[in-house]
Structure 1
Amino acid sequence: MKWIRLATVATLTSTIFAGGVQAVANDEPRTPLFEVETPNEVTFTEGEEDVDDVENPLEYPPVIIDPLPVKGPLTIVYVPEKFDFGQQAITSSAAEYSLIAEMQNVDEEHPLAIDNNLTGEVPYVSLAQVSDTRGNSAADWTLSLALTEFVGRDTGDILYGAQLHFINPQIKHNDGTGPAEEAPVAPVTETGGDRVILNANTDLASSIPVMTAGPNQGQGRSSVFWGDQDKMMDQYEDDDFTGTILNDRIQLHLPSAATPQQDTYTAALTWILATTVSVDGENGGNGGDGDENVLNP
Structure 2
Amino acid sequence: MSKQMGIRELGEFLRSRRALLTPADVGLPTGGNRRVPGLRREELAIIAGISPDHYQRIEQGRSAPSVAAIRAIADALRLTADEEHYLRRLASTDSTVGTSGVEHRVGIPDHILKLVEYSESPIYLLNHRRDILAWNPAARTLLCDFDDIEPENRNIAWLIFTDSHFRSLYREWDETARTIVGVLRYAEGDHPEDQELKHLIARLTTASSVFRSLRERREVAQKCGGFKTLCHPLIGDITLVHQSLSVNGNPDLELSMYTAHDETSKTALQFLSAWDTTRAAAESRPTPAV
TM-score, normalising length: structure 1: 0.21
Larger Cα Rg: Structure 1 or Structure 2? 1
Q: Give the helix-richer structure, 1 or 2.
A: 2
Structure with the bigger RCO (C-alpha within 8 Å, sep 6+) is 1
